[in-house]
A and B are shown apart, each in its own frame.
Chain A
Amino acid sequence: MTSSLLIQLIINGLIIGTLYGVVGMCFVLIYKASQVVNFAQGEFLLIGAWACWWLLTYWQIPFFWGFLISIAFMMVFGLVLQMLVLRPLIGEPIISVIMVTIGLSIFFQALMKWMFGTFAQPFPPIFSVQRVEILGLQVQTAYLMSTAVSLAIMAGFAWFFKYSRIGLAMRATAYSQQVAQSLGISVRQMFALSWGISAAVSAVAGVVVGIVNGVSSALSYFGIKVFPAVILGGLDSIFGAVVGGLIIGVLENVAHYFDSQFLKWGNLYEIAPFYALILILMIKPYGLFGTRDIERV
C-alpha cells in the first residue's frame, strides 16, 4: 500500500515537475536575454490565470478561445511591460532592475486581489471526466493535459531556439549584445520579445494550475518555487531548468511521503525544495548545466 502511494507521489512529482520546468524555462529565458532575475515570474502565472478565468466566467467564452486569447494578451502584456518599465532601466545597475521586479510582483499581486478578490475561484468544469486511471494510478485529467501542454511547450522552445531566425537571433543576443548588433539584430526587440514569450508561456502554466487548484494569489508562489529548480539546473541553461523542475517536483513529493509516513512534521513538502536550494548553492553554485564562468578574456 505504501509503495503504491510512493509511486503515485512520484508520478505527481513528475507532472508538477514539468510545470516547474516550463516556468523555469520562462525564467531562464529572461535571465539569459537580459541578465534580469525576474521576481515577478509568479505573477505572470497569476495574471494569465485570472485573465482566462475572467473570459470563461464573465464572458462565457469557450475554454479553447479563452485560453488562446489569454495567451495572446499575456504576450502583449510582457512586451508592453518590458517597453514601459524595464527598457528605461537598461544601463542601470542590475540590482536596481531586480528590485523593480520585486516591486512589480507586489504591485500585480495587490492589483489582482483588488480586481478579483482574495478568495480562490474555481474554473468552470472543462473536462467531462475529472480523473482517469492509467496503469492503476489515478491521474487528474487536468494534470494529463498539463503534462501534454508542457511537453509541447518544451518541444516548441527547442525548435524555436534551434531552427527559427528569431530564436537564433535571441541566442546570439544572449551570447554577446555587441556582436549581435553588429550583425543587424535589434537588441531592444530581443529583450522585449523574451519578456513577451516568457509571460505568455507562464500564463499557460498558470491556467493549467488554476484549473486544478482554482485561481488565487497562491499561484504566484510558483514564481518562488521555480528558484530551486533553475538554480539546480543552472541559471543560464534552458535544458537545466527542465531537469531542475523535474527533480524539484519529485523531491517535493518524496519529501511529502517521508513526512506523512515517518517524520510527521507536517510541512516538509513546502520546505524541502529550499533545503535543496541551500545545499546546491553550497556544493555546486553554477548548477548542473550552468556556465561555470561567464566572464571571458
Chain B
Amino acid sequence: MGGEPSGVAAGATLLDVRDVSLRFGGLRALSEVSFSVEKGELFSIIGPNGAGKTSLLNCISGRYSPSEGRIGFEGRDITRLKPNKRAAIGIGRTFQNLALFHHMSVLDNIMVGRHHLLKNNFLTGALYWIGGAQKEELEHRRKVEDVIDFLDIQHVRKATAGTLSYGLRKRVELARAVALEPKLILLDEPMAGMNLEEKEDMARYIVDLNEEWGMTIIMIEHDMGVVMDISHRVMVLDFGRRIAHGQPAEVLADPHVRKAYLGEEDVEDPFEQEAPAATPGAAVRQLSA
C-alpha cells in the first residue's frame, strides 16, 4: 500500500470531466468541476458531507445529466449517454447505501453484473440448449467464480444476500460491480460503517483490483487514513467546487482543505498528527460525520 503512484501509464487519459455543473432548481450541486483520471489510477474524491461527491459520481455513471460541461470516456463524449449504455462501455459502480438484490442469492447478484456481457438475447435464450446460450453461461459462471475467489466470498455464494453481515454485503456489492469487468469502477463510500478489520480487508481488495486487475478506480471515502494511504491522487470538493487536487501529500498541506474541514484555519490540525494504527483518520471522520 505505497503512497506513491505505481503502474500509472502516463498520458493515457481514461476519464475527462470538463467544467461540469449540476443544478437542481436554484441549488448548485456542482460548479464547473474539472478533472481527469489516467488509466490505471486510483483516484479519490473527498470533501465534507453535502460537498457534491455523490452527485459528481452520478454524473459520471449517468444517473444525473450535468447542466453544463462535458464528460469524456476513452476520448468519446458520453455526457448524454444512458446509464445502462455507460455500464456497457465499461463504467461500473457501487452505491453508498447497500443496493444488493437482497432476496437473491449471492451468486445471482453477481450474475446480474454479467448481464451486458451476454450475447444471447431473448430469442436465442428461448432456444437455450440449441443456440449455445448454455455454453456461454458456463463461461460466465467461470468468470464469476474468479471474482468470488478474489473477494473471498466462496463460503456464502449460495446464501441469500439479505441474510449476510454488513461487511460481507458490501463485498458482494463490490463483486457484482467487478463482474461487469469495467475499465473504470466508481466506489461510493466502500468502507462506510465498517469496523477496522473489515476496512483493512476492503482497502486490500481495492488496491489489488487496481494493481492486479488493472482497473481504474474512482473512490469516495471519508476515512482519511485509508484515502491518503492508497490513493495515487486526491481531489477535494467543497460546496460543489474543486478546492484542491493532487497527490495526497500536496492535498494534505493545502490551506483550503484545512479550512473546508475545520471551518477555521487556526484550530488544532488533525492532519499533523501521525495517523495512529488503531484508528486511521478517526479525528477527521468525526469532524466530517
Chain A residues with CB under 8 Å of chain B are: 164-166, 168-169, 171-172, 175-176, 178-187, 193, 297
Starting from the known contacts A165-B115, A179-B99, 11 additional A-B residue pairs (CB-CB under 8 Å) come to A164-B128, A168-B112, A169-B112, A172-B115, A175-B101, A179-B101, A183-B115, A184-B88, A184-B115, A185-B84, A186-B84
Does residue B78 face the partner (Cβ distance < 8 Å to A)? no
Cβ contact of A176, chosen from B87, B99, B111, B116, cutoff 8 A: B99
Q: A182–B176 Cα gap in the complex (Å)?
A: 11
B87, B97, B108, B128: the one within 8 Å of A182 (CB): B87
Inter-chain CA distance A211–B82, complex, in Å, is: 46
Is B83 located at the chain interface by the 8 A CB criterion? yes
Q: Mark B245-281, 1 if CB is under 8 A from A, else 0.
A: 0000000000000000000000000000000000000
Distance between Cα atoms of A175 and B95 in the complex (Å): 15
- In the complex, are the beta carbons of B116 and A185 less than 8 A apart? yes
A-B contact count (CB 8 A): 78
Contacts of B130 in A (CB 8 A): none
Q: Are A193 and B87 in contact (CB under 8 A)?
A: no
A residues near B120, Cβ cutoff 8 Å = 165
Determine the distance from Cα of A166 to Cα of B124 in the docked complex, in whole angstroms: 11
0/1 interface trace, chain B 86-127, chain A, CB 8 Å (1 if under): 011000110101010101100010011111101010100100
Known: A164-B125, A171-B101, A176-B99. A181 touches B112 (CB 8 A): no
Contact of B87 among A164, A183, A297 (CB under 8 A): A183
| A193 engages B113 (CB within 8 Å) | no
B176/A183 in contact, CB under 8 A:
yes
Which of A165, A184, A193 has a CB less than 8 Å from the CB of B84? A184
Residues of A within 8 A of B220 (CB): none
Decide: A185 near B115, CB < 8 A? Known: A164-B125, A165-B120, A168-B108.
Answer: yes
| 15 A-B pairs in the complex with CB atoms less than 8 angstroms apart | A165-B111, A165-B115, A165-B118, A169-B112, A169-B115, A171-B104, A172-B101, A172-B104, A182-B63, A182-B84, A183-B112, A183-B116, A184-B88, A185-B112, A187-B84
Q: Which residue of A lies closest to B176 (CB)?
A: A183
How far, in whole Å, are A166 and B119 apart by their CA atoms in the complex? 11
Q: Mark B164-201, 1 if CB is under 8 A from A, else 0.
A: 00000000000011001000000000000000000000
The answer to the question of B216 belonging to the interface, with a C-beta cut-off of 8 Å to chain A, is no
**Given A178-B63, A182-B61, A183-B180, are A168 and B115 also a contact pair (CB < 8 Å)?**
yes
Contact A193 B122 (CB under 8 A): yes
Distance in angstroms between the alpha carbons of A176 and B61 in the assembled complex: 16
| Chain A minimum-CB-distance residue to B94 | A182
**Which residue in chain A gives the minimum CB-CB distance to B116?**
A184
In the complex, are the beta carbons of A182 and B93 less than 8 A apart? yes
* Interface SS of A by simple majority: helix
In the complex the two chains form, what is the Cα distance from A181 to B87 in whole Å?
A: 8
Q: Identify the closest chain A residue to B62 (Cβ).
A: A181
- For A175, the closest partner residue in chain B by CB is B101
Expressed in whole angstroms, the minimum distance between the Cβ of A283 and any Cβ of chain B is: 25
CB distance from B101 to the nearest CB of A (A): 5
Give A238 to B97 CA distance when docked, in angstroms.
27
Residues on B with C-beta less than 8 A from A164 are 125, 128
A168 partner residues in chain B, CB cutoff 8 A: 104, 108, 111-112, 115
Please measure, in the bound complex, the distance between the C-alpha atom of A178 and the C-alpha atom of B54, giving whole angstroms.
Answer: 14
What chain A residues lie within 8 Å of B115 (beta carbons)? 165, 168-169, 172, 183-185
Cα–Cα, bound, A181→B116 (Å): 10
Q: For the complex, what is the distance from the CA of A165 to the CA of B125, rounded to whole Å?
A: 8
Q: Which 5 A-B pairs have the closest CB atoms?
A: A184-B116, A184-B87, A181-B83, A179-B99, A181-B84
| Nearest CB on B from A147, distance (A) | 24
Quote the shortest CB–CB distance from A51 to chain B (angstroms).
21
A165 to chain B: closest residue by CB: B118
Complex Cα gap A181–B104 (Å): 17
How far does the Cβ of B258 sit from chain A's closest Cβ, in whole Å?
34
A residues near B61, Cβ cutoff 8 Å:
182
Question: Is there an interface contact between A181 and B82, defined as CB atoms closer than 8 Å?
Answer: yes
| Interface-centre pick from B93, B101, B111, B112 (highest chain A CB count, 10 A) | B112
Contacts of B88 in A (CB 8 A): 184
> What CA separation (Å) do A182 and B62 show in the bound complex?
8
Cα A176 to Cα B111 in complex, Å, equals 16
A-contact 0/1 string along B49-86, CB 8 Å cutoff:
00000000000011100000000000000000011110
